[in-house]
Amino acid sequence: MRKVIFLVVILLFGALFVSRNQLGKTRQAQIVKISIPFGKGHNYADILVTRVVDGDTLQLESGERVRLIGIDTPEMHESDKLYRDSLRSGQDARTIKAMGKKAYEFTRSLLEGKRVSLEFDVEKYDRYERLLAYVYLKDGTFVNAEIVKQGYASLMTFPPNVKYADLFLKLYQEARQEGRGLWK
């Protein structure tokens, strides 16, 4: 750590020395910028989806996970949520996991290996430190809406992230009525 601090101090003095010499030669003030990156500086307007984790969660090239806002797909792995959903819906866990696999495959075909842009709502992170986002493909496809429209997700609305809740409700009702995706 001392070596790093010493190196930074030397760099700063060197920049100051160069700046003063330039000032004397040209009689103009020179601004020296030293940029040391700290924290996350990702371009969420153009970022690669490296992996789809499940039907409503993905991983970015930055290593961050993204939870798609406003939607919920069935679980495909053993979890407390799987059993809660089973009790709530009256469906057995095996059926829910099969539906979760279908939702995962749909989302994976839509996103994995593709560049996307993220739109955030009021809250940027959930309690699991995943990014909360609306995701768009480069062709303009609104991914969250497309998953609902094609019948692979239910709605999950958590205020204050409700920007597209009305749109999702409309698409969900249409998918159910028309028997698309999981609603066949």
Residues annotated as catalytic (active site), given as ranges: 67, 75, 130
Helix ranges (H only) for the chain are 2-26, 80-89, 93-111, 143-149, 165-178
Classify residue 148 by its DSSP letter: H
Quote the tokens at residue 2. Answer: 């001392």
- Inter-axis angle of helices 80-89 and 93-111, to 10 degrees? 110
Q: How far apart are CA 164 and CA 144, in angstroms?
A: 9
Contact 62, 40 (CB under 8 A): yes
Pairwise CA distance, residues 74 & 102, whole Å: 9
Query: Tokens 């496809």 — which residue?
Result: 141
Concatenate the DSSP letters of all residues of 115-127 into one string. Answer: EEEEE--S-SB-T
52: which strand partners? 58
**Half-sphere exposure in the Cβ direction for 7 (13 Å, CA):** 5
